[in-house]
Amino acid sequence: MKLCIAEKPSVAKDIAQVIGAKSRMDGYYEGNGYLVSWTFGHLCELNEPHEYTDKWKYWDLKTLPMIPAKFSIKVKDDSGIQKQFNTIKNLVERCEEVINCGDAGQEGELIQRWVLTKSQSKKPLKRLWISSLTEEAIKEGFDKLEPGEKYNNLYAAGSARAIGDWLLGMNATRLFTLRFAKKGQVLSIGRVQTPTLAMIVKRQLEIENFVSTKYWELKTEYRGVLFSSTKGKIKTLEKGEEFIKAIQEEEFEVVSYTQKEGKELPPRLFDLTSLQVEANKKLGLSAEQTLNTIQNLYEKKLVTYPRVDTTYLPDDIYPKVPGILNQLTHYSRFTEALRGEKIRKSKKVFDNKKVTDHHAIIPTGVTPSGITPQEQKVYDMITRRFIAVFYPDCIVSNTTVLGKVEKLDFKATGRQILDKGWRIVFEDDSKSSDDDKKEQLMPTFEQGEKGEHKPQLQEKDTRPPAYYTEATLLRAMETAGKQVDDDELRDLMKENGIGRPSTRANIIETILRRNYIKKEKKRIVATQTGVHLISLINNELLKSAELTGQWERKLREIEKGAYKVEDFKQELFEMVNLLVHEVKHQPIEKMPTICPKCNKGHMLRGKTAWGCSDWKNGCKFTLPFQFKNIQLSSRDMESLIQEKKSKNRYRIGKSKELQYIVLTEKLKLKVDDSDKE
How do residues 423-462 score in pLDDT, each as one tens digit? 999 987 655 444 444 566 788 999 999 999 999 999 999 9
Q: Select from 341, 356, 388 the last residue of a domain.
A: 388
* H helix or E strand, kind and range, residue 260: strand 252-264
CATH number for 44: 3.40.50.140
Task: Answer whether residue 660 shows pLDDT above 60.
Answer: no
How many alpha carbons fall within 13 Å on the CB side of residue 311?
21
Instruction: Give the chain's largest Cα–Cα span.
Output: 96
Q: Select from 388, 412, 440 the last residue of a domain.
A: 388
Calpha distance 130→427 (Å, rounded)? 34
Q: Write the burial class of residue 484 (CB in 10 Å: 0-12 exposed, 13-18 middle, 19+ buried).
A: middle
Both 73 and 103 in a single domain? yes
Task: Tell me what pLDDT residue 339 has.
Answer: 86
Average pLDDT over residues 400-405: 96
Q: Per the residue annotation, which of 151, 305, 467, 563 is the catalytic one?
A: 305
In a domain, 149, yes or no: no
Task: Answer whether residue 668 shows pLDDT above 70.
Answer: no
Average pLDDT over residues 525-538: 90
Cα–Cα distances in Å, from 133 out to 300, 305, 321? 8, 8, 17
Compute the chain's Rg from CA coordinates. 31
What single-letter DSSP state applies at residue 63? Answer: G
Both 570 and 654 in a single domain? no
CATH number for 222: 2.70.20.10
Is residue 79 within 8 Å of 23, Cβ to Cβ?
Answer: no
How do residues 275-285 score in pLDDT, each as one tens digit? 999 999 999 99
pTM recorded for the entire structure: 0.81
Axis crossing angle, helix 545-560 with helix 152-180, rounded to the nearest 10: 150
The gap between the terminal CA atoms of the chain, to the nearest Å, is 72
Calpha distance 4→21 (Å, rounded)? 10
Both 412 and 433 in a single domain? yes
Both 300 and 359 in a single domain? yes
Query: Is 257 designated active site?
Result: no
CATH number for 346: 1.10.290.10
Both 131 and 78 in a single domain? yes
Both 192 and 224 in a single domain? no
Task: Answer whether residue 332 shows pLDDT above 70.
Answer: yes
Average pLDDT over residues 85-98: 97
Task: Answer whether residue 380 shows pLDDT above 60.
Answer: yes
In a domain, 293, yes or no: yes
The residue with greater pLDDT, 28 or 630, is 28
Calpha distance 366→379 (Å, rounded)? 11
In a domain, 676, yes or no: no
Number of domains in the chain: 5
How do residues 288-310 score in pLDDT, each as one tens digit? 999 999 999 999 999 999 999 89
- By DSSP bridging, strand 408-419 and strand 626-627 are unpaired
Q: Domain range spanning residue 630?
A: 603-671
Both 364 and 238 in a single domain? no
Task: Tell me what pLDDT residue 206 has.
Answer: 92
Both 91 and 187 in a single domain? no
Residue 605: pLDDT band (50, 70, 90) is confident
Q: Select from 521, 554, 584 the last residue of a domain.
A: 584
DSSP string computed for 578-635: HHHHHHHTSPP-PPPPBPTTTSSSBEEE-SSEEEETTGGGT---EEESEETTEE--HH
Least confident range of 357-371, 468-482, 590-604: 590-604
Average pLDDT over residues 121-132: 95
In a domain, 595, yes or no: no
Listed residue (474, 481, 587) closest to 522, CA to CA: 474
- Average pLDDT over the chain, rounded to whole? 88
CATH number for 580: 1.10.460.10
In a domain, 150, yes or no: no
In a domain, 71, yes or no: yes
Task: Tell me what pLDDT residue 227 has.
Answer: 96
Calpha distance 548→192 (Å, rounded)? 7
Both 439 and 297 in a single domain? no
The CA-CA-CA angle for residues 98, 99, 102, to 5°, reads 125
In a domain, 566, yes or no: yes
How do residues 163-217 score in pLDDT, each as one tens digit? 999 999 999 999 999 998 887 889 999 989 999 999 999 999 999 889 899 999 9
Both 260 and 402 in a single domain? yes
Average pLDDT over residues 480-495: 67
Calpha distance 17→598 (Å, rounded)? 55
Q: What percent of the chain has pLDDT over 70?
A: 89
Q: Cis before residue 65, ω within 30 degrees of 0?
A: yes
Partner residues linked to 361 by β-bridges: 270
Task: Answer whether residue 594 shows pLDDT above 90.
Answer: no
Both 353 and 450 in a single domain? no
Q: Write the burial class of residue 566 (CB in 10 Å: 0-12 exposed, 13-18 middle, 19+ buried).
A: exposed
The three-class DSSP label of residue 320 is helix
In a domain, 74, yes or no: yes
Both 58 and 84 in a single domain? yes
